[in-house]
Amino acid sequence: MSESSPSLSRRQLIEKTGAALAAGFTIVRPEAVRGSQANSKITVGLIGVGGRGQYDATIFNADPRARVTALCDLFDDRIEIGTQKIKIEKPTVYKDYEKLLAASDLDAVIIATPPFEHPRMLADAIEARKHVYCEKPMGVDLAGVKKIIAASRKADPKKNVSVGFQQRYGPVYLEAYKRLREGQIGELVNARAFWIGSDPFTRQPYDDPKIEHLRNWFCYRDYSGDFIVEQDCHNFDVLHWFLDARPIRAVGMAGTKVRTSMEILDHLTLSFEFPNGMHVNYEANQISPRGFSHVGEEFTGAKGVLETSRARMIHHKGPKDAETIPSPRDITNDAIEAFLTRIQNGEVENVAERSAISTLFAILGRTALYQKREAVWKDEFGDV
């Protein structure tokens, strides 16, 4: 297909996605997964009714197979806004997420709280034997990541544990991965990734310091993990997936040039060494003018280059020979659709441990940046 040829049809993309996602699933009877509700709508509770939680839950609620029936948040205004945006009629409201998890009328939960809360909430949701869709990252430090790994290994084999690393489900990413594995760009010799964009968060004033920290969680290292962990983990999960390896070491530089009101960095650059002499460059900032962004990954082979992003895949085959396949929609839809399809069909996927390792890529890079030294995987994380 040339760049000017029509893009893949939606049916073709779905067929490719389905084939790729089918690999590795454990299949059990739907009635064993959902009991007597196998033929009814999947009932979903949302923990964390902020902007991302509202967005995810809106997609869930718009799917004819599911309905969001419960909301949990510490703040009343979040509940009120979320009820309107998600378009829920009379949701059951909780302040205590443990009580939501104990609700027998919920099949699945979305966890979209600040990252520092993900380890304990995901572990508790697994223990409550719910299907879980948890937003990334898998914690903000090694202790949190280890908690998730331990919980993942004890998960009910009939329950899905999914993570908001949407690229894994996007048709254009699946197509690029297929081409890489088929050797269509030859031997992979280099990779790079980047997330260049504007500041996504506006800090708001609150009189109570505790509330200020919670509502402005993005601004604080202990709450968000810094933007390399909170945001850039998406790129690192793609690198983990496509390279199928952990980095050996990382070095880099970072700083704060513009965003001086926050406790986190606003720009960074890293170099990773992977096995077999593979070197990977990574660059990110959140200080670019609004309207400009450059987000994605590049994989360089001996015979071609693959560019990947949420918006498109470009396969560079030679001089003036580039094939572009656009993404038909926001790939969050693909991730959530796949999650609901697995529940409906009795397929099970638990990606918590894999996602925890991807989060450690970001934590390794952050260690190198914060401590201004070479950070070695084995020294920092042992055999994790």
Q: Is the pLDDT of residue 321 over 70?
A: yes
Question: For the ranges 25-34, 209-218, 271-280, which has the lowest average pLDDT?
Answer: 25-34
What's the pLDDT score for residue 11? 39
**Nearest alpha-carbon partner for 173 in 320, 326, 7:** 326
Strand arrangement, sheet containing 375-376:
321-326, 312-318, 305-308, 294-301, 188-196, 278-285, 267-274, 249-255, 375-376
How do residues 228-260 score in pLDDT, each as one tens digit? 999 999 999 999 999 999 999 999 999 999 999
Asked if the domains at 22-165+336-351 and 168-329+359-381 fall in one CATH topology, the answer is no
Q: Are 271 and 280 in contact (CB under 8 A)?
A: yes
Residue 14 banded pLDDT, cuts 50, 70, 90:
very low
Q: Which residue has the tokens 């969680």?
A: 217
Class of 168-329+359-381 per CATH?
Answer: alpha beta
Q: Which DSSP letter does residue 9 get?
A: P
**Nearest alpha-carbon partner for 321 in 51, 60, 5:** 5
Question: For the ranges 13-17, 59-63, 209-213, 287-291, which has the lowest average pLDDT?
Answer: 13-17
Dihedral (Cα; 83, 86, 88, 94), 10-degree rounding: -50
Between 14 and 119, the more confident residue is 119
CATH T-level fold of 22-165+336-351: Rossmann fold (3.40.50)
Burial tier of 22 (Cβ tally within 10 Å: 0-12, 13-18, 19+): exposed
Q: Which DSSP letter does residue 169 get?
A: G
Q: Are 321 and 160 in contact (CB under 8 A)?
A: no
What's the pLDDT score for residue 369? 98
Question: What proportion of the chain, given as a percentage, has pLDDT over 90?
Answer: 90
The 3-state DSSP class for residue 26 equals strand
What's the pLDDT score for residue 47? 99
**Span 273-285, mean pLDDT?**
97
How far is 234 from 355, CA to CA, in rounded Å?
10
Q: Which residues pair with 26 in a beta bridge?
A: 348
What's the pLDDT score for residue 31? 44
Domain segments of the chain as ranges: 22-165+336-351, 168-329+359-381
Q: Is the pLDDT of residue 32 over 50?
A: no
What's the pLDDT score for residue 200? 95
**Nearest alpha-carbon partner for 262 in 316, 198, 218:** 218
How far is 240 from 235, CA to CA, in rounded Å?
9
